A and B are shown apart, each in its own frame.
Chain A
């Protein structure tokens, strides 16, 4: 199974970089997005700890996966994310406060500023994969040069949903890219108890298309592999499967304590691999980035995150009866009566 990486953990170059890496502006944009995401995560956790946000899933250690893939997509492509793909949503134009609104328990967060056709976070594991196949089928049927991109974690590869979707995508050569963020742990279950396969990428073989392993802590590799897969899918060459080999440095969610099941030494070792320091080391070595840039970015991201949190906290709650408002296109009278009941209006 092919394994792709370009940047070593110390930021040194392993092999000639892909063409896009000569675009300093793009590399810096990838870097900025990952830094913003990490700061945003920290703020979200702080809000959760102080009772102002619900359960939240951090991207710590996996920033390169969702930022890398989203950066290779076009606006008209369709993203089908799992609950840990904040980075992809941010890159696609979803606002920070909208993500907070969702995790804060308000459906309006899913009516977001990103592309109108993108799917919201999928909380059940892997059930978005069949949707991605349906979306991709529709794109192909209408002969549109668009691609569906479906993200999920390693735990999802144990589910029939994912295999059923991959199998169908292979049969119909759909314009669909599957990306598994293999962060080694499905809550407390390690990869080795999840599968006897040597790689997750090889699962694509059974579905009849190409899979590859990518260093998921190397955003250059993630972007390069994603771009290749998306272009191939757009050109009618069928689906691809990318296994982003990464590591979840944080807990599964704010409701989890990974210290209960995961050795500290393992986590510490992976901190030496993490994606942000890695890209920074490369940028610094290339003299594309310096201390002043870093300080300015930190200030900027901090201000953005704080402002977003303020807007989130200041959002006026919905009136209770609005829970009926998007139940059906037209609310059947029998439920309209329940809506009136909730609103405190009394039927004659």
Chain B
């Protein structure tokens, strides 16, 4: 199998989806001639034409609203927002229209759209380019929120998102765009949405994360195993709706859980998982569910951002503490 970076895997999936289905339309700022600021859409306009790979005016609200209108007509629009920091003008469309079009028309109109955007810190980007506000999106009923953590899952999950009959926000970890490499077979096969992936099995402790933080989480798990702690690592992948069964099953087995995310702690998605575990698996717990997260601060600009994001060391410290709890 050929090796691809995460952003190349996104490009492969988009091309495959457009090849397979003439209703798939890609739109956004700079997605056409330029191939996207991260090159996620490189070559697509040349291959599929300017009508299906559409450079839009600089207007994020418009991009999301266009997707709703196109989707209601049966197209499968895939909109790109250049950075997650610019997704907020889309929230009105996501909350008030995309996520509820099916429900408010009782199935008469539907909204099979995908909104893609780079996500998270760690690339020394300018201000407003590094936030991770996935919990805000995961709070919206009727939406799906998906975040891959490897090229293989980026390819398979993006295909699934495009084929899904409901709206999906697809968050791409910017830090992994080129850093993550892996073998990707361009076979047109989707991976399941709403399902978590167990990346490593273990009996002592469950580590749950998503997106770019899986890199540090996996590194921590490897280092912990050298200390004799066998951590199970779960890539949540779909945050809305999230796979409670896999999470609860793992915690029932290990009795200990550390949740890792780079988003700020208060109201972060880790709180949702911790609450579910507390409600449903309290008797299994041998230690408090613990979070390792970004701080409740504005994501600092380049010089301090590495101190904001959870490090391998912070994850290991939390894991040791949880394992020693009695």
Contact = CB atoms under 8 A, between A and B. Distances in A.
A138 B59 contact: no
A305 interface: no
Contact of A108 (B25, B93, B106, B109): B106
B57 A138 contact: no
A329 B165 contact: yes
Interface in A271-319: none
Nearest to B62: A164
Contact of B104 (A120, A133, A335): A120
B62 A141 contact: no
A160 interface: yes
B185 interface: no
B269 interface: no
Nearest to A323: B103
A167 B142 contact: no
Contacts of B242: 334
Nearest to B73: A138
Contact of B69 (A120, A130, A327, A335): A130
Contact of B61 (A130, A171, A335): A130
B66 interface: yes
A266 B65 CA distance: 38
B65 A131 contact: yes
Given A130-B61, A131-B65, A168-B57, A326 B93 contact: no
Contacts of B241: 332, 334-335
Nearest to A335: B241
A332 to B, nearest CB: 4
Given A110-B105, A328-B102, A328-B142, A131 B59 contact: no
A164 B57 contact: yes
Interface in B57-71: 57, 59, 61-62, 64-71
Interface in A111-137: 111-112, 116-117, 119-120, 124, 127, 129-137
B64 A130 contact: yes
B244 interface: yes
Nearest to B63: A130
A274 to B, nearest CB: 33
Nearest to B95: A124
A327 B96 CA distance: 13
B122 interface: no
B107 A326 contact: yes
A165 interface: yes
Interface of A: 78, 80, 107-108, 110-112, 116-117, 119-120, 124, 127, 129-139, 141, 148, 160-161, 164-165, 167-168, 171, 323, 325-329, 332-335
Given A133-B69, A325-B106, A328-B166, 13 more contacts: A111-B107, A111-B108, A120-B104, A127-B96, A130-B65, A135-B73, A137-B54, A138-B75, A141-B75, A165-B62, A168-B62, A326-B106, A334-B242
14 contacts: A110-B104, A110-B105, A127-B97, A130-B69, A131-B68, A134-B70, A135-B72, A137-B54, A137-B70, A141-B25, A164-B57, A165-B62, A167-B62, A171-B57
